[in-house]
Chains A and B, each alone.
Chain A
Amino acid sequence: MHVGLEHYLTVSFLLFALGLLGVVMRRNLIVIYMSLELMLNAANLALVAFSRFNDKLDGQVLVFFIITVAAAEVSVGLALIVALYRRRQSAHVEDLTGMKL
């Protein structure tokens, strides 16, 4: 069977599901951040596949912007985690319940 758009989309969906599973199930803030990266990459893969199969380069430009924004997001998020760790000595979501009622 020839590889078409639906194959790439299937890989993208499964990768997004993996990332979501990691965000919901893991309790370590850093691993949750890695799962977020997986989800962003799944979206990137879907966009590149759409761009290829629809004969337009706009999707790839969008992926370029997503990569840039993801890099900025990771730097700010990891700085937040480090600041949080300095206060609480923990990077576990179960220990970070300061806003719980």
Chain B
Amino acid sequence: MDLTDILFYVFAALTLGCGVMVIANPFSRNPVTSAMFLVLTIISMAGLFVLLHAFFLAAVQILVYAGAVIVLFLFVIMLLDLKEEARRRIKIFGFAAGILSVGSILALFFKTLSNTPLTTAPSLTQEGTTEALGKLLFTGYVLPFEVVSVLLLVAMLGVILLSRKNLD
């Protein structure tokens, strides 16, 4: 068991533990706490990306998620002034439905995993550096890249339209 294996277990435990705290924090039902634990989840997942030699994606993960998405979440939480969340309790029907659906989808996943032969040795030729990823992005994936830029433009216009004072 070398260092990368130990780091994998550390980051995996951090990711899953903070993920639990996002959805079911026993101390606080405040959405701000959930958002903060989501930041921790994102950052430890960036650590997992580094372990998988996806350096560019680790940086993008931190920049886009921790830097932009979570800040947007926090803005909206503070804009909406959600104070009464703590009072309501979880319904027993929702709890049962959640356990049932999650249990069945996990059973499906692990059944598939145990039935599939996997390649165990990681490749050492491909590194997810900015250069390699950029080369692939601007040669083989030019059309999706352009389509995604149009999508971002459409999302921007949609947000401007939606957040006007009178929608009608």
Give A contacts to B, CB under 8 Å.
Answer: 1-11, 13-22, 24-28, 30-31, 33-35, 37-38, 41, 44-45, 48-49, 51-58, 60-61, 63-65, 67-76, 78-83, 85, 91-92, 94
Contact = CB atoms under 8 A, between A and B. Distances in A.
Nearest to A72: B155
Contacts of A1: 1
A44 B168 CA distance: 38
Nearest to B155: A72
A34 B16 contact: no
Rank and list the top 4 A-B pairs by shortest CB-CB distance, nearest first: A22-B23, A55-B123, A72-B155, A24-B98
A69 B147 CA distance: 11
A22 to B, nearest CB: 3
Given A41-B45, A60-B54, 7 more contacts: A2-B1, A18-B23, A30-B77, A52-B123, A52-B128, A53-B118, A72-B151
Contacts of A18: 16, 19-20, 22-23
Main secondary structure on chain B at its contact with chain A? helix
B52 to A, nearest CB: 4
Contacts of A72: 151-152, 154-155
B105 A61 contact: no
Interface string B31-71: 10011001001100100110011101100110011001100
11 contacts: A2-B120, A20-B101, A28-B31, A41-B45, A51-B128, A57-B132, A68-B148, A73-B155, A76-B155, A76-B159, A78-B72
A30 B76 contact: yes
Q: Of residues A56, A61, A67, which shows the largest number of chain B Cβ atoms within 10 Å of its Cβ? A: A61
